[in-house]
Amino acid sequence: MSYADKFESMKKGFDMGQAIAEADRCLLCHDAPCSKGCPADTDPASFIRKLRFRNVTGAIRTIKTNNILGGACGVLCPTAELCEKECSATGIGQPIAIGKIQRFLIEHARETDFKVFAKADPRPEKVAVVGSGPGGLSCAAELAKDGYPVTIFEARPEPGGVLRYGVVSFRFDLDFLAAEIEDIRNLGVDFKCSSPIDGHKGAEDLLGDGYQAVFLAPGLWDAVQLKAAAEDIKGLYSSVQYLEGLRDGNLQSFAERIEDKTVAVIGGGSVAMDCVESAARLGAKDVYLVYRRSYTQMPAEAEERIDALQGGIHFLLLNQPVDYVVDENRCIKGLKLVRTALGDMDDSGRRSPVNIEDSEWILGADVVIEAIGNKAEDQSPGWYPHVKLKEKNLIQTDPATGKTSVDGIFAGGDIVRGPALVVNAVQDGKVAARAIKAYLKQ
Ligand SMILES: Cc1cc2nc3c(=O)[nH]c(=O)nc-3n(C[C@H](O)[C@H](O)[C@H](O)COP(=O)(O)OP(=O)(O)OC[C@H]3O[C@@H](n4cnc5c(N)ncnc54)[C@H](O)[C@@H]3O)c2cc1C
Ligand code: SF4
């Protein structure tokens, strides 16, 4: 099997029989806790009930009306921490597989060409959206449903944000993304790709350029680094460089750098899991996941952790990387680690890792990938200079509306919350769209 094949497509989802069998297990709770567990109000209790009574189109309508990225969320939501965590069936056995049912319904809508929305009568007020990730797409769709002409300005050549250039293709493939975006194009949203908003034409200039409101959702595209001034080390990548490279036509060149080599990935979240799994698929000899806390403290989902362990990834837990080992040509040779023990609780509610004295050692590695977080791009505030910021260059908004400190400018998604989830960005887009409509009607 070629590398391209190993990365090409997602695992198959439920078929109709499996989806109905799963919906038949639903306890039809009155005040359904699963719906309360969904950050985007997708209302799983309602679509599962409809499917259970064989109202398939009604179920699809519920999802799409509440969540234009219902398919993406069905695939990518960490459901065990959200809707399924609240499912009453958990007390009896397994929770209902809400995400899988949701994905099936959206795929079924596509296969049967069932369209939920008709084009609305056009309204005169134009809105600009900056960024075509889940936040921007959700806001644009909500506005377009009501006839507002929306233009999305996207810096990269193709739309989708992290869905296109972050999440690995074996978890979320191009065909699935294309179908999800097609629904939004069909609402009349205009996509201007390779069109960054920058210092020359900032967000505030858009307001004077025919747009009555602007929604900012540029996400977080700079990588948090373990050490400053390490950019010139050959064989050291940030997760942003690595994952974007894999999805941007550089699969073969990464395969050549990784095949038969030892790869170390620093981090314990879902992004680190995408990095270790893809390195294994690229034929690495050994893949180490280096994490400074313990197994149960890892932010990655239990299923992802188990998949990685079963895939032969070596978990190096309770080890803190402190430096890189390089040769005279600045090629990476390994990682200097210090062993840790768990100390007192920290702000995250977990026991903090404490370095153990004199326990440094070196892990040999040919490739190191840092997956320790993303942050706002350093130049971002330059293109919205009057928008008030909070810590880490994130944008300050009113959470009930997404309003920023500049009249007519709204914001949402990761640039407001910090690293979060697709479903959170979808909700921010909905909240801001509602507030933008109210603002335009003033
Ligand atoms: C590798 C990775 C894997 C993830 N996996 C999951 C997962 O499995 N499940 C989950 O729920 N969440 C996951 N997340 C988190 C989730 O993807 C984000 O929370 C979500 O994408 C945030 O959406 P957003 O719209 O705020 O920003 P983004 O998705 O980051 O999109 C922002 C868009 O704005 C564009 N942009 C930036 N600056 C400009 C500019 N100046 N002008 C024009 N356009 C600009 C960018 O090119 C990008 O397309 C993952 C994140 C990463 C990094
Ligand atoms: S959008 Fe995500 S969290 Fe909400 S019901 Fe669907 S799978 Fe669950």
Q: How far is the CA of 392 from the centre of ligand 2 (A)?
A: 29
Q: What's the burial of 391, exposed, middle or buried (CB within 10 Å: 0-12/13-18/19+)?
A: exposed
Query: What does the DSSP assignment read for 66-132?
Result: H-TTHHHHHHHS-GGGTTGGG-GGGGTSSPP-HHHHHHHHHHHHHHTT----PPPPP-S--EEEE--
> pLDDT for 62-121, tens place per residue?
999 999 999 999 999 999 999 999 999 887 889 999 999 999 999 999 999 999 998 889
pLDDT value for 205: 93
Distance from C-alpha of 308 to C-alpha of 287, rounded to nearest angstrom: 10
- For the chain, what are the domain ranges? 9-111, 127-221+375-440, 225-372
**Position 2 pLDDT exceeds 80:** no
Q: Is the CB of 160 under 6 A from ligand 2?
A: no
Contact by Cβ (8 Å): 47, 28: no
Coil, strand or helix: which one is 242? helix
Of all ligands present, the nearest one to the C-alpha of 39 is 2
379-405: per-residue pLDDT in tens?
Answer: 888 999 999 999 999 999 999 999 999
Distance CA 302, CA 386 (A): 42
pLDDT band at 165 (very low <50, low <70, confident <90, very high): very high
Spatial CA neighbour of 395 closest among 155, 185, 405 = 405
- Kindly list the protein residues whose Cβ atom lies closer than 6 A to any atom of ligand 1: 76-77, 130-136, 153-156, 161-162, 166-167, 196-198, 217-219, 221, 243, 270-271, 274, 374, 383, 413-415, 420-423, 425
The pLDDT of residue 217: 98
In terms of Cα–Cα distance, which of 110, 109, 80, 102 is closest to 23?
A: 102
Kindly report the CATH number that applies to the domain delimited by 127-221+375-440.
3.50.50.60
Q: Is the pLDDT of residue 334 over 90?
A: yes
User: Is residue 151 scored above 90 in pLDDT?
Assistant: yes
Domain 127-221+375-440 and domain 225-372, same fold? Reply is yes
- From 130, 132, 139, 162, the mutation candidate for ligand 1 (largest count of ligand atoms within 8 A of CB) is 162
Give the count of beta carbons closer than 10 Å to the beta carbon of residue 399.
11
Rounding to the nearest 10 degrees, give the CA dihedral for residues 196, 243, 228, 365: -160
Mean pLDDT of 276-286: 96
| Ligand nearest to the backbone CA of 79 | 2
CATH of 9-111, one of 1.10.1060.10, 3.30.70.20, 3.40.309.10, 1.10.357.10: 1.10.1060.10
Give the CA distances from residue 323 to residues 257, 362, 363, 373, in Å, rounded to whole numbers and listed in that order. 22, 9, 11, 17
* Structural fold of domain 225-372: FAD/NAD(P)-binding domain (3.50.50)
Q: SS3 letters for 139-151?
A: HHHHHHHCCCCEE
pLDDT score for 229:
76
Question: Cα(42) to centroid of ligand 2, in Å?
Answer: 6
- Distance (Å) from CA 328 to ligand 2 centroid: 50
416 alpha carbon – ligand 1 mean position (Å): 12
Burial 415-433 (b: 16+ CB within 10 A, else e): bbbebbbbbbbbbbbbbbb
Kindly state if the Cβ of 44 falls inside 6 Å of ligand 2: yes
